Each structure stands twice: as C-alpha cells, then as structure tokens.
C-alpha cells in the first residue's frame, strides 16, 4: 500500500515537472518563472517524500460534526513540522526566491534569525476563512519570509489533506473555504454535464464541491455581479466578482483536450492572473 502511494506521488511529481518545463519552452518570456517554480516544486516534493510521521486523525464523529458546523478539519498542531528540517526548507526556498526576484533579495539579511515554525503557525491561521469577522482583516504583507514560509508549508498541508479529504462529506460542505485547512481556493474545475464546480485549495490542493454561481470569497450570489470570461477555445474561464473584486481561474474539463496535470494548472494559467490583475481584480483571499 505504501509503495503504491509513494510511486503514485513520484509519477505525479514527474508530470508536474514536465508540464512546467514544457510551459517554459512554449512561453520563452516566462522561462524564468517556470524554472523558478520547477525548483520550488522539487524542494517541496523532496520534503513531502521525507515525511514519515502518522497523521493523528480526528474521530469520525468529531469530523462529521466539524463539517456540519463549517469548521475545517486540520489544526496546525497536527502537521509533522520539526524546527530544524522546516527551517532548512524555508531558508532554501527564501534563497531561491531571492535569486529569481531581485526586489526580494534585499530582504535576505537575517534569514538565519527567523523563527520559521512560529511564523508558519501564524500564516496557517491568517490564511483561514473566519466567518465570525464582519470586516475582512487587513491583508497581511507578503514579503520574502511570508512567501517562503507559505511555500514551505505546502508539502505538509498536502500530505495531511490527502489523508483527511476522503473522510469529508462533500455534499455537506459546499463552502467557499477549504474543508481541510480553511484556505482560499485559487482554481476551479467544471466537471459534469450539470456543470458542477469543484474548487481547489491554494494551500493544501484539496478539491471540493461548490455551487456553480456563487462567489467563494464573499458568498455573493447576485448574478448581475458575477461574470466569467471564457478563453477563445472555451477551455478556461476567468470568474470575477464585482462585489468583492476577487477572481478565480477555472478549467472546463468537459472541453479540455490536452492532458491535464491539475496540480500544475494554477501555474500554467499565470497569463489569466496577469489579465485579471490588470483589470483590478485580486487573488482570492478571505
Ligand atoms: Zn486547504
Ligand atoms: Zn465576491
């Protein structure tokens, strides 16, 4: 069983790396972007492959109750993070980021002193939807260490999510935030003839069922304020919400003829991010 999982992981990783390399070849102006993401993905993949811990799962009863209450399943304490290894990974990611983005290179002083584990804990909480808050909190500033720690957390979140997600009752969730980690979606897929829409978590890569015509970021369901722009071949859609000014990229799997590597899609569609941001829309967040 374990070997199969490990092999499956290797195969998926190879597909992602290939898709990113191919995208770099196809879009020479984005070659650096895809090269950077291949390096980051490689680091994340190695970190994930090295996890030997066992996830302490919640009791099934508790799990179901949390789904009913709209609470995500995962807590930061469940992640198998140990200070030394995690700090090494985050530092290496920060150095890689600085190499590719000169604007961030000025922030590399003092990287050794960063308390990566505490920062990871804060970022985990900050990225969660908090429905008790009336007003959205000020967006946290994304400097070098914040970006690095988010990327370093990802393999651990994915590892946990793969184990938790099969136990989540999709029909009972249907919320804008991730049922596993509470994070915001950054991608969606349209699957069946009915047009069921699944959202994909920007943090742990879980996918969950959501309503087709509602904004996951502000719950706006007013159809006059929700639009989407299809790509010329209708394979992709850019959803925008005029109420909260967030956007969401989507892939229509009914129309896609290319071999889809879903884990790479959020990066393969970077041109859509640029187009949306040019129009004044923001990456989805809570
Ligand atoms: Zn998640
Ligand atoms: Zn909205």
Q: Which ligand is nearest to the CA of 285?
A: 2
Record the pTM. Answer: 0.93
Residue 58: what pLDDT? 81
Closest CA to 152 of 94, 239, 225: 94
Q: Which ligand is nearest to the CA of 286?
A: 2
What's the 271 CA to ligand 2 centre distance in angstroms? 21
For residue 238, give the H/E element and its range: strand 236-241
Cα–Cα distance measured from residue 247 to residue 267, given in angstroms and rounded to the nearest whole number: 15
Residue 107: what pLDDT? 81
Ion ligand 2 nearby residues (CB, 5 A): 215, 217-218, 220, 241, 243-244
137, with CB counted inside 10 A (0-12, 13-18, 19+), is exposed
129 and 286 Cβ atoms separated by less than 8 Å: yes
What's the 250 CA to ligand 1 centre distance in angstroms? 17
What's the 112 CA to ligand 1 centre distance in angstroms? 28
Pairing of strands 236-241, 185-190: unpaired
Residue 108: what pLDDT? 83
Residue 137: what pLDDT? 52
Q: Which ligand is nearest to the CA of 213?
A: 2
Residue 223: what pLDDT? 93
Per-residue tens of pLDDT for the chain, all 286 residues: 333 456 678 999 999 999 999 999 999 999 999 999 999 999 999 999 999 999 988 888 999 999 999 999 999 999 999 999 999 999 999 999 999 988 888 888 888 899 999 999 999 999 888 765 555 555 666 889 999 999 999 999 999 999 999 999 999 999 999 999 999 999 999 987 777 899 999 999 999 999 988 999 999 999 999 999 999 999 999 999 999 999 999 999 999 988 899 999 999 999 999 999 999 999 998 8
Residue 135: what pLDDT? 52
Contacts of residue 27, defined as CB under 8 A and 6 or more positions apart, other chains included, come to 34
Residue 149: what pLDDT? 97
Q: Which ligand is nearest to the CA of 127?
A: 1
What's the 159 CA to ligand 1 centre distance in angstroms? 11
């Amino acid at each position: 069983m374990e070997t199969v999982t490990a092999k499956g992981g290797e195969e998926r990783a190879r597909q992602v790396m290939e898709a990113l390399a191919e995208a770099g070849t196809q879009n020479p102006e984005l070659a650096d972007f895809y090269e950077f993401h291949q390096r980051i993905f490689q680091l994340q993949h190695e970190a994930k492959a090295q996890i030997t811990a066992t996830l302490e799962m919640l009791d099934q009863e508790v799990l179901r109750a949390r789904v009913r209450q709209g609470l995500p399943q995962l807590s930061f304490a469940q992640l198998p993070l140990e200070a030394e290894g995690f700090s090494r990974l985050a530092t290496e990611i920060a150095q890689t980021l600085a190499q590719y983005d000169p604007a961030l290179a000025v922030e590399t002083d003092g990287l050794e002193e960063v308390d990566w584990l505490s920062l990871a804990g804060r970022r985990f909480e900050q990225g969660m939807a908090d429905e008790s808050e009336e007003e959205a909190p000020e967006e946290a500033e994304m400097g070098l260490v914040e970006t690095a720690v988010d990327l370093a957390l990802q393999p651990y979140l994915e590892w946990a999510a793969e184990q938790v997600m099969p136990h989540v009752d999709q029909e009972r969730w249907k919320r804008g935030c991730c049922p596993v980690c509470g994070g915001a979606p950054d991608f969606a897929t349209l699957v069946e003839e009915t047009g069921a829409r699944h959202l994909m978590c920007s943090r742990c890569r879980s996918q969950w069922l959501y309503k087709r015509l509602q904004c996951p970021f502000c719950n706006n369901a007013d159809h006059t304020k929700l639009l989407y722009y299809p790509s010329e071949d209708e394979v992709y859609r850019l959803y925008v919400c005029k109420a909260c000014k967030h956007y969401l990229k989507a892939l229509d799997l009914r129309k896609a003829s290319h071999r889809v590597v879903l884990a790479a899609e959020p990066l393969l569609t970077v041109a859509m991010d640029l187009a949306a941001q040019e129009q004044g829309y923001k990456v989805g967040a809570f």
